[in-house]
A and B are shown apart, each in its own frame.
Chain A
Amino acid sequence: MLGDKVLMVGNEAIGEAAIRAGCQLYFAYPITPQSELPQLLARRMPEEGRVFLQAESEVAAINIVYGAAGAGARVMTSSSSPGISLKQEGISYIAGAELPCVIVNIVRGGPGLGGIQPAQSDYFQATKGGGHGDYRLIVLAPASVQEMVDLTALAFDLADKYRNPVMVLGDGTLGQMMEPVEFGDIKAEIPSKPWATTGRKGRARNVINSLYLDPNKLEEHNWHLQAKYRRIEGAEVRYDSFNLADAQLVVVAYGISARIARTAIEMARADGIAAGLLRPITLFPFPTGAIAQAAEKAAAFLSLELSAGQMVEDVRLAVNGRRPVHFYGRTGGIIPTPQEVYEEIKKLAGEEVAK
């Protein structure tokens, strides 16, 4: 049954989901491998009577986002790794001024200009702040084109709910691949924003700001932000699992890595190896509790990433020394094959589970 399913590439699915979620303005600068997204929105946003603007740089784009978000609009920008680095200044200001917006990063290999093939090596940058100062983004990691739709819609809601920038962290594979998607009933419920600078008619004036020259005031602001991040950690953790209940070897992987892990786990299960998957959907807040719980029964963990090992640090913190946490990853745009990951699982199962 076809239903309302359409086959779409991930980048375009994000764009269409953003429109349905009520994104009113979109600003970006071209970069591979996410260009299908600005290309789609250049066509679709004016059709919907909304604003598309190609900025002169990623720096300008994120600051235009700041202005529009401060004016109370639902707003989005997108880029890929080097461009996201350029945006970090603006993201820090947005976090400091507590403005809601959605930032899409379709990650490619780094550092520097790196390459254009898929990677997950922006995990630290996305989850630990990225720019200057003590702040966090909410980071959502889709693992399918359908999730790119669902999590983009969720990103707008969470951004408004917490007045916080939300990053949708994909990679070149997810951006470029096609899968069937349904848009279902995405609702554009935009809450009122009495803090926005819309003109002071009928109220005291509003100021969007991240400057606190008095250190006492700045510290107070920081504790306010931290309290918000703790609230987010308490309420917004999302993860998925596969064959986890009896798993002796738990693979922790997000995004495209989780898809590869799933196939590798199926191969391992066929060999009688009790492997399972824990897939973080939110990278901040990280599913620390779920991993700690899995550590009660599992013998060992394997963090699988398209990086030299970044999320593995958070897995280790969650496991807290109770079980060995291994890492397997490829970098530079190389994607490990399911076979390769299966071999790694088999090797670790031999070393760890047998003990």
Chain B
Amino acid sequence: MKVVFERPQALSDVTTHYCPGCTHGIIHRLVAETIDELGILERTIGVASVGCSVLAYDYLECDWQQAAHGRAPAVATGIKRALPDSIVFTYQGDGDLASIGTAEIIHAANRGEAITVIYVNNTNYGMTGGQMAPTTLVGQVTTTSPRGRDTKEAGYPLRMAEMLATLKGVNYLARVAVNSPANIMKAKRAIKQAFTVQVEDGGFALVEVLSTCPTNWRLDPVEALKWLDDNMIPYYPLAEFKVSGEVK
């Protein structure tokens, strides 16, 4: 019998702690498939961040370092500088990357650090109970914006991909979503490209992945996929912003 579907070798055979309907699992799988396809498991070192993906090191079979909140790009820089032949990636949420870790991500990108960044944006701090993040949409209700995000007090949602696209050091930059099979296929291509850039010594690559958070959004998983489509994608357009260092 022909095997048409199996667990990627790089994906651990364990149950994750993620909530039902959360799309972190899909993103983990896409990264694992990419590692398998590029044959880089034995030289890949992941950097886990703080947030829901804090335990990512339990789910992918490569070496890992666990970083302090927001500091994953700095930790990745240290690993890559010490071991230039390794493949180093960070896996960070929007609170981690777009709030407390803005300095680290901007400077790692600007240096053109040869690392791959998987940036998962679900518009809130999921792990700590759904607080407002820099990416929370205008008017979106969270546990710390109970009347909806008010721009007069909390400013506007940060479009990290667009900001980082202005930096010369960035080789590849895309925003994708994992809320439909078609989008997941595109997300896979972007993630694979972001790792391929590193394998080919191309420099810094980042993929922003729009992800759902049914629990904190107070939606069922299917509604959450639709909410992402209706609310997130209009504000966070899906696109490749930079390819081979060129702005698209």
Touch A–B, Cβ below 8 Å: yes
B33 part of interface (Cβ distance < 8 Å)? no
| Docked CA distance A40–B201 (Å) | 29
A71 part of interface (Cβ distance < 8 Å)? yes
- Contacting pair A66 B75 (CB below 8 A): yes
Stretch from A136-144, A196-204, A231-239, A312-320 contacting the other chain: A196-204
Contact with B along A48-76 (1 / 0, CB 8 A): 00010101110111011111111111010
- Contacting pair B78 A200 (CB below 8 A): no
| Docked CA distance A65–B63 (Å) | 17
- Contacting pair A71 B104 (CB below 8 A): no
| Docked CA distance A75–B83 (Å) | 13
- Chain B residues whose CB sits within 8 angstroms of the CB of A57 once the complex forms: 103
CB distance from B18 to the nearest CB of A (A): 15
- Chain B residues whose CB sits within 8 angstroms of the CB of A72 once the complex forms: 82-83
A178 part of interface (Cβ distance < 8 Å)? no
B121 part of interface (Cβ distance < 8 Å)? no
Measured CB to CB, the residues of A under 8 A from B are 24-25, 27, 51, 53, 55-57, 59-61, 63-73, 75, 89-90, 93, 97, 197-202, 205-211
Q: Which of A70, A200, A207 is B42 in contact with, Cβ under 8 Å?
A: A200
How many of chain B's residues have a CB under 8 angstroms from any CB in A? Answer: 33
Q: Which of A64, A73, A75, A210 is B74 in contact with, Cβ under 8 Å?
A: A64
- Contacting pair A207 B63 (CB below 8 A): yes
- Chain B residues whose CB sits within 8 angstroms of the CB of A93 once the complex forms: 67-68
Measured CB to CB, the residues of B under 8 A from A are 41-45, 47, 54-55, 57, 61-68, 71, 74-83, 86, 103-104, 106-107
- Contacting pair A53 B42 (CB below 8 A): no
- Chain A residues whose CB sits within 8 angstroms of the CB of B47 once the complex forms: 67
**Chain B: which residue is nearest A93 at the CB level?**
B68
- Chain A residues whose CB sits within 8 angstroms of the CB of B106 once the complex forms: 56
CB distance from B96 to the nearest CB of A (A): 13
- Contacting pair A210 B66 (CB below 8 A): yes
Known A60-B71, A60-B104, A90-B68; contact A197-B78, beta-carbon cutoff 8 A: no
| Docked CA distance A51–B84 (Å) | 11
**Most A CB within 10 A of own CB, among B57, B81, B107:** B81
| Docked CA distance A24–B63 (Å) | 21
Known A24-B82, A72-B82; contact A205-B74, beta-carbon cutoff 8 A: no
- Contacting pair B76 A67 (CB below 8 A): yes
**Most A CB within 10 A of own CB, among B43, B63, B71, B104:** B63
- Contacting pair B74 A67 (CB below 8 A): yes
- Contacting pair B68 A51 (CB below 8 A): no
